A = this chain, B = another copy of it.
Amino acid sequence: MTQLRVCFIGDSITNGTGDTGFLGWPGWLCTAEVAAGHDLTDYNLGIRGDTSADLLPRWRAECVARLPASIHCAIVLNIGLNDATEQNGEIRVSLADSVRNLREILSGAKAMFPTLWVGPSAVDESKQPLVADTGERRDKRNGRTADYNLAFKTLAHELDVPYLDMLSKTINDPEWPALLSDGLHPLPAGHDRMAGHVGGWNAWRVLLDG
């Protein structure tokens, strides 16, 4: 049995928007690990609409408040999809800025705690663009996300941060579009599917199973 406190940092997909059971994939993941005998604390720090630029000023204070330096803790990021999003005709965070923001965040995070990065997931392009309840018209395209995903993978390799290529896993999953509530946010079964990918990932297993 391993005790572990985790800050899951991300956007609406980490928050679990669209999961009517209010777990998000981090909650599904933690529930499965506790059922397997581990003792996890789930700090869900997903914020709807967040980009890497939104994350930059908040991640450190939010993690420091939650993760005592004296015990086994980890940081898991799932960020980037909103960077690669066109909003009212403009890309929200350019690829260069996104990589720069994430380099700063990941360098700081891994200096504090074991840090993992879950890449962006695929959307159903036939349902794009979406209008957020805050009024913004946001358009996501898997081809554009793929450019970011490739750059994220390169950055993660350079920084020696484990990277889970969730885009490849979801875009190659013929069931994935049916697991989304609105072409973007996973339904409960979609969150469970994402949790399964993270739960079976070697970098995650090392945190729990040594």
Contact = CB atoms under 8 A, between A and B. Distances in A.
B71 A65 contact: no
A208 to B, nearest CB: 15
Contact of A41 (B5, B48, B65): B48
B27 A22 contact: yes
A101 to B, nearest CB: 15
Given A31-B21, A65-B54, A44 B47 contact: no
- Determine the interface band of chain A, counting residues with CB < 8 A from chain B: 20 to 34
**Assembly of this chain: how many copies?**
2
Interface string A158-177: 00000000000000000000
Interface string A36-49: 00000111100110
Nearest to A46: B43
Interface of A: 3, 5, 15-17, 20-23, 27, 30-31, 34-35, 41-44, 47-48, 54, 58, 61-62, 65-66, 68, 70-71, 133-135
